[in-house]
Structure 1
Amino acid sequence: MVDAHRTFVIVGGGLAGAKAAETLRAEGFTGRVILIGDERDHPYERPPLSKGYLFGTTGRADLLAHEPAWYTGAGIELHLGQPAVRLDRAARAVELGDGTRIHYDALLLATGAEPRRLDVPGTDLAGVHHLRRLAHADRLRGTLAGLGRDNGHLVVAGGGWIGLEVAAVARTYGAEVTVIEQHPTPLHSALGPELGAVLADLHGEHGVRFRFGTRITEIVGQDSQVLAVRTEDGDEHPAHAVLAAVGAVPRVSLARAAGLELAEEPVGGVVVDTSLRTGDPHVYAAGDVAALHHPLFDTRLRVEHWANALNGGPAAARAMLGREVVYDRVPYFFSDQYDTSMEYSGWAPPGSYDEVVVRGDLGKREFVAFWLSGGRVLAGLNMNVREVTGPVQELVRSGREVDRERLADPSVPLEAVAAG
């Protein structure tokens, strides 16, 4: 039975919010738990939106973080399809779009992120897509199926993870695909030129065309339909649809209006400590919106990946309950493109590493790559190599200098390298 003497409110109906609600109950919290989400769908996982769900091999019900009946059984009060529009920290209350005010004793901001928009003429045409929500995926899936039937052409603005995953699905449908990327390789900021070239080759083999070193300057259309895109190098590319996959921005409007501290660009997000608490002791943040000074990397990070929502929501919930929490998980994400699977652990932005060590065969796309600085492993990517995430993360977490020859030698178990 729910005891109304304390109320914890979660703003954000994604995976971080759902897992936080689950953890509160699992850890014995008997007060009211109220989850507010501006989508009408129950909380769901987003990675399949650019993979199996987009291609139709994953069903809608398979995305759900919990069955709808679970919330009733756990005593979780849902306000779905109802955005939070104001946070009154002095009164400890959240105001919803319909004017409802909800008091809280502790509040978790799990508002996530939203797609970055293309700032060019033509973005309001009907054939321009973004991908973040179920509704986006439903619309894009219908478009890709139509392009495949009609030999239509998709232009993807941005060669990041979402852009490449959608490109792979589009080619599987049979659509023509061109990816326009301002850097010299796809995933240049995430993987650098060494591994970015591997992804370019993978997609090239599947018929994806790349245009590097340029950006879209205009989307050309007629009668609200997309006809082509123009780029800053003066070229024009045929297109029947465009996907804007140029990154995401944290949803901080609620936090900003409430006066919570925000991280400076390019990180952005709501500043939290290692317990995921903001400068207000009654307000926490988790998931894509949280900007944490990460203990392992000694810098402020905002991680926009599934694992951060999966683990950050529960960590924040425990902190809300007064538990001792130090959130220092190694950042992790995965990607599936065609028949190639990848897992990445760590953090190694451009300029942070001085060498890349490869164990395995780049040409066969069966390898583990490591980004090192001063002999220490900052990050690792395994491509088509299974069950190595644990030792890769241990190498990152240890901070020890490694033997490069042993690291590159597939005959030496990674566990042995991690153990020194």
Structure 2
Amino acid sequence: MTTQPGNGEHSFVIVGGGLAGAKAAETLRDEGFDERIVLLCDESELPYERPPLSKGYLLGNDARESAYVHEANWYRENNVDLRLATRVRRIDRFASEVVLADAERVHYDRLLLATGSEPRRLDVPGADLDGVLYLRNLADSDAIKRVIEAGGPIVVVGAGWIGLEVAAAAREHDVEVTVLEVADLPLQQALGDDEVARVFADLHREHGVDLRLGTGITSIEGADGRVDSVTTSDGSSVRAAAVVVGIGVAPRTGLAEDAGLVVDNGVHVDPHLFSSDPVILAAGDVAAIEHPVLHERIRVEHWANALVTGPHAARSMLGHDVVFEELPYFFTDQYDLGMEYVGYAPPDAVDSVVLRGDVAGRAFYAFWLAAGKVVAGMHVNLWDDGIDPVKALILDGGAVDTAKLADTAVPLGEALVRRAG
């Protein structure tokens, strides 16, 4: 059976029930599109945002409903055909249809892929035991919350953003936490600077986390099918009521690959977010964007990227001539540390890192430089000025005087040696 729109109306189909997909549907309506929208979600939950899963909701500070992008009645009131627990089996590009798991075919005039990403799996003996947990959806967060509420102890594998946020949530509830990280410092790949990374190492140790760096996991042991300890690469045994794995994610590109779209570490899209098929777009974690400001193809896995690419894709679906120029942005909250980061700084492209402020007191800026220009920056606990001055330096594109950049007595804008152009 094929479901076609009636009365000759256009049909816009969105695959993916996360923030990007839900905001795309919202933007289509806000921009005046009054024809058919079908939003296909493989989970049974209303479309939701992911930051609460490792922050407010996991901590127990926020209600479950706070994660939802819209209340249930929003979809009815805006005539969005929301289909939960619905899996898309494949895309039939020749017929302009998506084929659902029950063989129903849904016609599209424009198709947006917002399929997100999925956690990379741990490959060690015992990884299939009950109590080995990942954090990607609300059900995962619920499972981790139950372990925290039961008192743990918890072993976290991977000292990236997700791993450290889970560790912080557990310690806020006085749960014993051990974090295992094969790198020499936490967040080393993300931050690329030892001094900044040490800020996070010290923060977690001060809050009682047993942070073991340069240490991997070799096996997970259990009794009656459930985790009770892990063995580390140095031969130690660590008690664990649960193991939370945070070793990265991979974009969910299966539908795009099977449909013959250009895919390489994400669905390749142009600055308008169109894929290699002129009526199929991608947004959120799955989109590898040809970025006109950064002059390279990037794929970003953070909340803000979904927030801005979903609406951008919606406007492109409507035929608006919009170019995606937003800089990557992310944030974290751990204990009493809040941080915002903007820009793009691959470790192999960075010449130096300049720090400004009180690093020991955790109130400072960090700037990543390439060819004398600021390409990324972050602030820690400097909310009066926040991230906007950093963004302005990046967008200006001019060279900076590093001594002035580091001097808190000099306004950030005056650190520019020359302006671009």
Q: TM-score range by the shorter chain?
A: over 0.9
Map 1:94-109 onto structure 2 (within 5 A): 94-109=98-113
Map 1:363-378 onto structure 2 (within 5 A): 363-378=360-375
Map 1:295-306 onto structure 2 (within 5 A): 295-306=292-303
1:13-35 C-alpha deviation (Å, 9 max, x unpaired):
00000110011111111210100
Query: SS at the partner of 1:29?
Result: coil
For residues 30 and 143 of structure 1, the distance between their equivalents in structure 2, rounded to whole angstroms, comes to 46
2:143 maps to 1:143: no
2:400 maps to 1:402: yes
Instruction: Report what 1:184 is aligned to.
Output: 184
1:83-141 C-alpha deviation (Å, 9 max, x unpaired):
11111111110011122110000000000001111011111111111101011111110
2:258 maps to 1:260: no
Contact 2:352 2:370 in 1 (8 A): yes
Query: SS at the partner of 1:351?
Result: helix
For residues 251 and 239 of structure 2, the distance between their equivalents in structure 1, rounded to whole angstroms, comes to 32
2:411 maps to 1:413: yes
2:79 to 75, 79, 82: 75
Instruction: Report what 1:354 is aligned to.
Output: 351
Map 1:235-254 onto structure 2 (within 5 A): 235-254=236-255
For residues 293 and 234 of structure 1, the distance between their equivalents in structure 2, rounded to whole angstroms, comes to 45
TM-score, normalised to structure 2's length?
Answer: 0.95
Q: Which moved more, 1:398-407 or 1:230-239?
A: 230-239
Cα offset, 1:411, TM superposition: 2.5
1:130-165 C-alpha deviation (Å, 9 max, x unpaired):
101011111110111112xxxx32110000000000
Cα offset, 1:393, TM superposition: 1.2
Query: SS at the partner of 2:404?
Result: helix
Query: SS at the partner of 1:126?
Result: coil
For residues 400 and 48 of structure 2, the distance between their equivalents in structure 1, rounded to whole angstroms, comes to 40
2:381 to 381, 384, 393: 384
Question: Structure 1: which 4+ aligned runs deviate by more than 6 Å?
Answer: none
Instruction: Report what 2:3 is aligned to.
Output: none
For residues 133 and 293 of structure 1, the distance between their equivalents in structure 2, rounded to whole angstroms, comes to 28
User: Is the alpha carbon distance of 1:222 and 1:4 closer, same or farther for their aligned partners in structure 2, counting shifts above 3 Å?
Assistant: farther
For residues 280 and 234 of structure 1, the distance between their equivalents in structure 2, rounded to whole angstroms, comes to 51
Map 1:164-183 onto structure 2 (within 5 A): 164-183=164-183
2:328 to 327, 331, 350: 331
For residues 122 and 132 of structure 2, the distance between their equivalents in structure 1, rounded to whole angstroms, comes to 10
Unmatched runs of 5 consecutive residues or more in structure 2? 1-5
Contact 1:4 1:32 in 2 (8 A): no
1:147-198 C-alpha deviation (Å, 9 max, x unpaired):
2xxxx32110000000000000011111111111111100000112221111
Cα offset, 1:388, TM superposition: 2.3
Map 1:185-224 onto structure 2 (within 5 A): 185-192=185-192, 193-224=194-225
User: Is the alpha carbon distance of 1:95 and 1:355 closer, same or farther for their aligned partners in structure 2, counting shifts above 3 Å?
Assistant: same
1:294-353 C-alpha deviation (Å, 9 max, x unpaired):
222222211001110000000011111111121120100110000110001011122221
Unmatched runs of 5 consecutive residues or more in structure 1? none
Cα offset, 1:259, TM superposition: 0.8
CA RMSD of aligned residues (A): 1.4
Q: Which moved more, 1:236-245 or 1:276-285?
A: 236-245
For residues 42 and 206 of structure 1, the distance between their equivalents in structure 2, rounded to whole angstroms, comes to 35
The letter of the residue matching 2:250 is V
The letter of the residue matching 1:65 is V
Contact 2:131 2:226 in 1 (8 A): yes
Instruction: Report what 1:132 is aligned to.
Output: 136
Cα offset, 1:4, TM superposition: 5.3
Cα offset, 1:213, TM superposition: 1.6
For residues 270 and 218 of structure 2, the distance between their equivalents in structure 1, rounded to whole angstroms, comes to 40
Instruction: Report what 1:156 is aligned to.
Output: 156
For residues 318 and 167 of structure 1, the distance between their equivalents in structure 2, rounded to whole angstroms, comes to 39
Contact 2:14 2:39 in 1 (8 A): yes
Q: Which moved more, 1:392-401 or 1:157-166?
A: 392-401
1:322 to 319, 336, 344: 319
Q: How many residues align?
A: 411
Q: Which moved more, 1:282-291 or 1:388-397?
A: 388-397
TM-score, normalised to structure 1's length?
Answer: 0.95
The letter of the residue matching 1:179 is V
Contact 1:156 1:180 in 2 (8 A): yes
For residues 253 and 65 of structure 1, the distance between their equivalents in structure 2, rounded to whole angstroms, comes to 25
Q: Which moved more, 1:410-419 or 1:314-323?
A: 410-419
For residues 105 and 337 of structure 1, the distance between their equivalents in structure 2, rounded to whole angstroms, comes to 44
1:93 to 68, 92, 97: 97
For residues 166 and 4 of structure 1, the distance between their equivalents in structure 2, rounded to whole angstroms, comes to 50
For residues 349 and 384 of structure 1, the distance between their equivalents in structure 2, rounded to whole angstroms, comes to 24
Contact 2:147 2:241 in 1 (8 A): no
For residues 216 and 253 of structure 1, the distance between their equivalents in structure 2, rounded to whole angstroms, comes to 29
The letter of the residue matching 1:315 is H
Contact 2:230 2:240 in 1 (8 A): yes
Contact 1:34 1:77 in 2 (8 A): yes
User: Is the alpha carbon distance of 1:188 and 1:7 closer, same or farther for their aligned partners in structure 2, counting shifts above 3 Å?
Assistant: same
Instruction: Report what 1:290 is aligned to.
Output: 287
For residues 222 and 94 of structure 2, the distance between their equivalents in structure 1, rounded to whole angstroms, comes to 50
